[in-house]
Amino acid sequence: MNYRYLGNSGFKISEITYGNWVTHASQVGDDAAVATVHKALDLGITTFDTADTYANTAAEVVLAKALKGQPRESLEIFTKVYWPIGRKGPNDQGLSRKHIFDGINGSLRRLEVDYVDLYQAHRYDYETPLEETMQAFADIVRQGKALYIGVSEWTAEQLREGHALSKQLGFQLVSNQPQYSALWRVIEDKVIPTSEELGISQIVWSPLAQGVLTGKYLPGQPVPEGSRATDEKSGANFIKRFLRDEVLEAVQKLTPIADGAGITVPQLALAWVLHNPNVAAALVGASRPEQLEDTVKASEITLDDDAYAAVNAALAGVAETDPAKTYEVSPASRPA
How far is residue 254's CA from residue 199's CA, in Å, rounded to a whole number?
A: 32
- 144 contact partners, CB below 8 Å, separation of at least 6: 114, 115
Of 18, 54, 124, 180, the active-site residue reads 54
54 is catalytic: yes
Residues 149-181 have pLDDT tens digits of 999 999 999 999 999 999 999 999 999 999 999
Distance CA 188, CA 108 (A): 34
Strand-strand pairing, 3-5 and 173-176: unpaired
From 3.40.50.410, 3.20.20.100, 3.30.70.100, 3.40.640.10, which CATH number describes the 3-327 domain? 3.20.20.100
With a cut of 90, say whether residue 248 has pLDDT above it: yes
Average pLDDT over residues 254-271: 97
The per-residue pLDDT for 236 is: 60
Per-residue pLDDT tens over the stretch 7-57: 999 999 999 999 988 665 556 678 888 999 999 999 999 999 999 999 999
Tell whether pTM > 0.85.
yes
Confidence of residue 239 (pLDDT cuts 50, 70, 90): confident
Residue 284: other Cβ atoms inside 10 A: 24
What CA–CA distance (Å, rounded) separates 21 from 54? 6
Dist. CA 298–CA 318, nearest whole Å: 24
CA 122, CA 137: separation in Å to the nearest integer? 13
Q: Which residues contact 142 (CB under 8 A, 6 or more apart)?
A: 171
The counts of H helices and E strands in the chain are: 12, 10
Rounded CA-CA distance 159/58 in Å is 30
**Residue 288: band (very low, low, confident or very high) from pLDDT cuts 50, 70, 90:** confident
For the chain, the domains span: 3-327
Helix or strand holding residue 142 (H, E): helix 130-142
Rounded to 5°, angle at Cα 107 from 20 and 290: 20
